[in-house]
Structures are given as C-alpha cells and as structure tokens.
Amino acid sequence: MTAFDRSAFRGSFVALITPFKNGKVDEKAFQALVEWQVKQGTHGLVPCGTTGESPTLTHDEHKRVVELCIEAAAGKAPVMAGTGSNSTAEAVELTHHARKAGAQAALVVTPYYNKPTQAGLYAHYKALNDACRMPVFVYNIPGRSIVDVSVDTMAALAKLPNIVGCKDATGDLTRPAKTRLTCGADFVQLDGDDGTALAFNAAGGVGCISVTANIAPKQVAKFQEAMMAGDYAKARKLNDELMPLHHSLFIETSPGPVKYAAGLLGLCEPDMRLPMVPIQAASRKAVEAALERVGLRGKRKPR
C-alpha cells in the first residue's frame, strides 16, 4: 500500500490547452485560464498533455508551462503534470522536474512510435517508479501511441508503490471493470474521453481528464460531483446536456476544436503549432452550434 493520498485524484481534471500568441506560449492567458478553472470548481489540473500540444513544446517550454500551472493553482487544486516521452530517460527527467516544481502527480503517456512490447512497457514504467518519488499515472492511449497496456501489464504495474492509477483512453468500456478486478479498488482510474465518462465511472472509474472542461468547467465538475455522490439521475441529465459539446470538440483532431472554442470565449487566441492547423469551416459551425446549445456562445470569459 502506497503512502500517497489517492483520494485527491478524482472528479474533473482538465486537460489544459496551452495558449500561444505570436508563436510563443502566452503565459498570461495560460495562468488566467488556470485561475478561472480553479474558481469554476475544477478538481484538478493537467498541463502538458496531448491537449496541451506537448509534442511541439520544447523541453524548456514544457517545464515552464508546468511551473506556471503550479504557481497559478496556488495549492487550490492538485496538478498532475504531463511528463511522458518515448524516451524513458526524458520521461524520468521531466518527472523529476515536475516533482521538484511542486506537482502532486505525473501523467506519463505510453511510449509512442517506437512501439515497445508489454515487457518494454513494464520496464519503462518501472524505471519511472524506481527513479521518481511521486504518484505516477499510466496514460494509455492506443489511438495515438499505437501500443496498448494490457490488463495484465497494468496489474503488474499497480503493484509498484509509485504507480497509483491510469488515464484510460482505450475507448473499451469493459476496461474499468477488468482493471478494478485485477488492480484493486484503490487503483485510480480516470477516463480519457468525456463522452464515455458516465459509463466509465459506473464500471469502476472515479473521474475524467477532460477536454470539455477547458470550455465548460463548472458543468463538467458538477457532472463528476453528481457521480461521486451516487446521483446518476442528475449525472445522466448533465451528461445529456454536455454531449453535443463533447462531440463537437472532437469533430477534428484535438486540440483544434477546443482551441477554436477557447478563442470564441475569449480565453486565449486559437493559435496552434504546425502540424496542427485551424479547423475547417464546417467544423467551426459545429463548434459554434454546440456552444449555443449549452448556453456558452457569446459569454466571453475574463482574461
């Protein structure tokens, strides 16, 4: 049993976008976004994940964004810093930095492109467990990384003291139940897809690392709180209201749609870095319609 308090990692954790302006990280907009998230009731903050365009951040920018998030959060919400890489040594370095900067946990994506075996995946995370004295979450996203951490491998990792949970973006809704049975009820399972969060939590999950929370943090937090309270009737109602927004924010590859929505709401510029490009006109109309449907269109947030 680990000494880490796992109860802090539940509810709505926002997969933060990284605002850019004139080609650089917009530090002011990013910290304003973090402060707004905390005020809106978001339960946790995840900088430098896929939604944060981590593949195109330099290492210095990556570390700076983590530091900015921790500073702006000011201890009011836990920070789970994205620290993954397809190089184990780089993942260890980024995780060490996150711990020293004051993050409460690390989110480590499965190594992409080099396509390790299950033995390689275990060795990768064991190296992180052995080198880094902080809670580590396995980010399993086969759709982007090509590799899938099997249930058996996850069970082996769950026995390591610093591997406390996972972000499951497999889309397989049998996974949370299987993982709960093999890894134990205290292994923290967070969904990686807003649209499946209701079913995921019902089967053993305790929250979601949410893209939609960038745009509708209060509504997503209330949805997660309803499930934590066991009020699934309320959760279903909130889920129905949010589903059009969930769908529209993935109408093209994320974070294109959510960056466009953030621009409409005045949260930041919609700028992305190549090879990500602005979303198409039809997709813009879909995002606008979804914002209108959930009552967010025209409500510009303070910067």
Instruction: Catalogue the active-site residues.
Output: 139, 167
Among the listed residues 185, 166, 160, the one whose alpha carbon sits nearest the alpha carbon of residue 106: 166
Angle at 192 between CA 268 and CA 229, to 5 degrees: 100
Among the listed residues 273, 209, 294, the one whose alpha carbon sits nearest the alpha carbon of residue 62: 273
The first and second tokens of residue 90, run together, are 């780089």
Q: Can you tell me which residue has the tokens 């449907």?
A: 293
Cis amide leading into 270 (omega within 30): no
Exposure pattern of 64-81 as b/e (b: 16+ CB <10 Å)?
bbbbbbbebbeeebbbbb
